[in-house]
């Protein structure tokens, strides 16, 4: 599980979890996701989506196929609304196919005391006979993912805050 505060607002983070492009950037260049359907990857994930993908390490080493199944919900907590995005798909082939439980949930909410930032919680629950052996590799991937989330979050805002604000120019025509 990751629990980090990131430098974007909760709306921007919520848009990012729905973006296959943003998700691909989180894993890049370590892992690539390629859609296995003729229609390609959706521009945004929606509840009910079932998207089979091919996973490749470093662009060339096949890692198997995975079904991504999307659902979402929200919960009102004392500090505000928490939106939860869930992938309850399952690895279909490759090393992860020995897992019979795959439950990935990402929760975003305004950071306590700073609504311009986001509290990001990212949890993966796995199960199956090889889960203990695969856990160290997935833990390492999760640490990479957390660093990438922190690095990329500022780019998710539609209107980033400029480094400097220029004073307004006086219009001599007034």
Averaged pLDDT, 45-50: 94
pLDDT of residue 159: 55
- Predicted local confidence at residue 149, as pLDDT: 96
* Domains held by the chain: number: 1
pLDDT of 42 above 80 = yes
- At residue 17, the pLDDT reads 95
The pLDDT tens digits for 56-93 are 988 788 889 999 999 999 999 887 899 999 999 999 99
Q: Tell me if 42 is assigned to some domain.
A: yes
**Portion of the chain with pLDDT greater than 90, in percent:** 68
Question: Is the pLDDT at 169 greater than 80, yes or no?
Answer: no
pLDDT > 70? residue 162: no
Q: Judge whether 83 lies within some domain.
A: yes
Q: Tell me, what CATH number does 11's domain have?
A: 3.30.530.20
- Residue 162, domain member (yes or no): no
Assess if residue 57 is contained within a domain.
yes
Please report whether residue 134 resides in a domain. yes
Spatial contact of 24 and 45, defined as CB atoms under 8 Å apart: no
Range of the domain at 124: 2-156
Which pLDDT value is given to residue 30?
A: 83
Q: Considering the domain boundaries, does residue 168 fall inside one? A: no
In the prediction, which pLDDT does 79 show?
76
Residues 122-140: pLDDT tens digits?
999 999 999 999 999 999 9
DSSP string for residues in 4-69: EEESS-HHHHHHHHT-HHHHHHHHTTTEEEEE-STT-S-SS--TT-EEEEEEEETTTEEEEEEEEE
pTM reported for the whole predicted model: 0.85
Q: Is residue 79 part of a domain?
A: yes
The kind and range of the H/E element at 174 are none
Task: State the chain's mean pLDDT as an integer.
Answer: 89
Q: Identify the pLDDT of residue 173.
A: 53
Position 166 in a domain: no
């Amino acid at each position: 599980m990751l629990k980090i505060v990131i430098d974007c607002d909760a709306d921007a983070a919520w848009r990012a979890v729905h973006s296959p492009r943003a998700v691909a950037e989180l894993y890049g260049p370590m892992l690539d996701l390629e859609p296995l359907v003729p229609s390609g990857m959706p521009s945004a994930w929606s509840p009910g989506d079932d998207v089979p993908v091919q996973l490749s390490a470093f662009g060339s080493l096949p890692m198997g196929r995975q079904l991504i199944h999307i659902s979402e919900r929200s919960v009102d907590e004392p500090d505000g609304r928490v939106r939860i995005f869930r992938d309850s798909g399952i690895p279909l082939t490759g090393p992860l196919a020995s897992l019979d439980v795959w439950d990935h949930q990402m929760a975003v909410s305004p950071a306590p005391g700073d609504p311009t930032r986001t509290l990001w919680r990212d949890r993966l629950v796995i199960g199956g006979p090889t889960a203990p052996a695969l856990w160290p590799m997935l833990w390492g991937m999760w640490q990479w993912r957390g660093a990438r989330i922190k690095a990329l979050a500022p780019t998710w805002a539609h209107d980033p805050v400029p480094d400097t604000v220029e004073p307004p120019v006086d219009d001599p025509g007034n």
